Amino acid sequence: EVQLAESGGGLVKPGGSLRLSCAASGFIFSSYTINWVRQAPGKGLEWVSSISSSSLYIHYADSVKGRFTVSRDNAKNSLSLQMHSLRAEDTAVYYCARDRDEWSPDGLNIWGQGTLVTVSS
């Protein structure tokens, strides 16, 4: 079964750091761009970051640029999101999501179950 599974969420103080992980299974992980998408409690979806199959192309939303770093290990079928200088507004469920197509950004068809990050003192 094609799956993504996030882990690493939790409670962190403002200004703190946290590292999220995303484990993939059931597909050729090294062929696909993977994205991070977050959803604040009761709010809509916000795209956070994407990393291409070979890590050659990495992009961030302005709201996290300079604070978050995405990386992947294709040998381990895993993805990470390192988050620094966390703010209250970063509180959200974080999803990793796979591009539907290997070659174009036409939609995210595989999503994990999400992991909750709470930034609070």
Partner 1 sequence: QSALTQPASVSGSPGQSITISCTGTSSDIGGYNYVSWYQQHPGKAPKLIIFDVTHRPSGVSNRFSGSKSGNTASLTISGLQAEDEADYYCSSYTTTNTRVFGGGTKLTVL
CB of 76 to partner 1, least distance (A): 23
Sign of CA dihedral 41, 108, 71, 76: positive
Q: Are strands 10-12 and 34-39 parallel, antiparallel or unpaired?
A: unpaired
Please, which residues bridge with residue 72 across strands? 79
Residue 1 touching partner 1 (CB under 8 A): no
Residue 106 touching partner 1 (CB under 8 A): yes
Residues 46-105 within binding reach of partner 1 (CB under 8 A): 46-47, 50, 57, 59-63, 95, 97, 100, 104-105
Residues 19-38 within binding reach of partner 1 (CB under 8 A): 35, 37
Residue 15 touching partner 1 (CB under 8 A): no
Residues 38-57 within binding reach of partner 1 (CB under 8 A): 44-47, 50, 57
Residue 97, class by beta-carbon neighbours within 10 Å (0-12 exposed, 13-18 middle, 19+ buried)?
Answer: buried
CB 59 within 8 A of CB 70: no
CB 24 within 8 A of CB 51: no
The residues binding partner 1 (CB under 8 A) are 35, 37, 44-47, 50, 57, 59-63, 95, 97, 100, 104-109, 111-114
